Amino acid sequence: MRILMFFICASVLAQGGRKISIQGQDQAPTTIGKAADEFGFRQWNWSDFEDDINSMSSEGVIDSGNLYSSVHYYNSQSGNTLYVSDSRLNFHINPNTPEPSGEAEDYNYRSEIREHPSNADNETGTEQWWGFNYKFGDGYVADENEFIMWQVHGSFATPSNPLLSMWVGKTNQAGTGNKKGEILIVNAAQNSASHKYTKTGIVPKSGQSINVVIHVIWGDASDGLYQVWIDGKKVYDEQERTVYIEEEEAGYWKIGIYKWPWKNSIDVAVSEGLGADDLHTSIGSLRVITREPSDLDNNKNWRADYEKVDPARYEY
């Protein structure tokens, strides 16, 4: 019996299947969807939405309105920039293909998934965890135009930048001294006019995937917390302000590619010159925990929470 089970598991691995392992048994993760304004644990198995996402002809809701596709642009004649393949949610943008259609900008620069609705407001004291495997596709080339992999936006209009985010930076981003393509941890809530950038020393290569775990307590300098682990190594750990002074609340998260320099032709030409004008990334199953300030488990069981969202425990 043990030999048979080993053979089955080995076959799954050889076929590139994405499974989770619980007490020695393999099974596909079960989607537990929740909206942005709900509390608790949620996880998404992208295979559950493959037909829905791959057949979308425009931006719209997914998982009965718990998620929303945010894509610039979609052209049904040329293919989608957000799609599911091999149980992974794929983000694929080229500034010129598919041909932009009917929008104010001239180039493609965004392919993301976000929670919905976007008017959710998380008050100070709210705790959140995220866990996902993020892969840089075959043929990935580091660029001198930055992009955002993960971000949390407020539902307010001003300040307009994401409060917290994870970037793939250009060389010496904002005087940080980082390498081209290095992952940066960014906190704009510290100062809405001057973001805080922190190097991780991690420069992803073509075909490389990283396991990301993020932990945040939304608060001011005395009770805010921002922690990030990549491949099990803690790369950021600060007690600091995580909400703006101007608007002391958090909002909704987004994951994927937001490459805003591609809004203009000069930066597009820079990427084209580096052979970095076709960007393809993907994520495995996504896990998120959101706890309200009054929850008795709020910031009490970090080790158990880390393990619950850690993609290294679920993704082959």
Give tens-digit pLDDT for 296-316. Answer: 999 999 999 999 999 999 864
Annotated domain spans of the chain: 1-30, 32-311
Give the pLDDT band of residue 292 (cuts 50, 70, 90): very high
Pick the CATH number of 32-311 from 3.50.50.60, 3.40.640.10, 2.60.120.200, 3.40.50.2300: 2.60.120.200
The C-alpha R_g of the chain, in whole angstroms, comes to: 19
Predicted TM-score (pTM) of this structure = 0.90
97 pLDDT exceeds 90?
A: no
Q: How far apart are CA 120 and CA 129, in angstroms?
A: 16
Residues 283, 67 contacting (CB under 8 angstroms): no
**pLDDT tens, 204-244?**
999 999 999 999 999 999 999 999 999 999 999 999 999 99
Q: How far apart are CA 30 and CA 111, in angstroms?
A: 24
Residue 184 CA: distances (Å) to CA of 154, 180, 266, 267? 20, 11, 24, 20
Q: What is the mean pLDDT of the chain?
A: 88
Q: How far apart are CA 35 and CA 55, in angstroms?
A: 22
Mean pLDDT of 64-75: 82
Give the pLDDT band of residue 98 (cuts 50, 70, 90): confident
**pLDDT tens, 109-123?**
999 999 999 998 999
Task: Provide the percentage of residues in the chain whose pLDDT is more than 70.
Answer: 86
What pLDDT is recorded for position 73?
57
What pLDDT is recorded for position 74?
54
Q: How many CB atoms lie within 10 A of CB 218?
A: 27
Residues 285, 41 contacting (CB under 8 angstroms): no
**pLDDT tens, 147-158?**
999 999 999 999
What pLDDT is recorded for position 59?
84
Residues 194, 208 contacting (CB under 8 angstroms): no
Q: Which residue has the tokens 């002809």?
A: 57
Residue 186 CA: distances (Å) to CA of 200, 231, 290? 11, 18, 21
| φ, ψ for residue 217, nearest 5 deg | -110, 120
The sign one gets for the Cα dihedral 93, 97, 101, 104 is positive
Nearest-CA neighbor of 218 among 250, 251, 252? Answer: 250
286 pLDDT exceeds 60?
A: yes
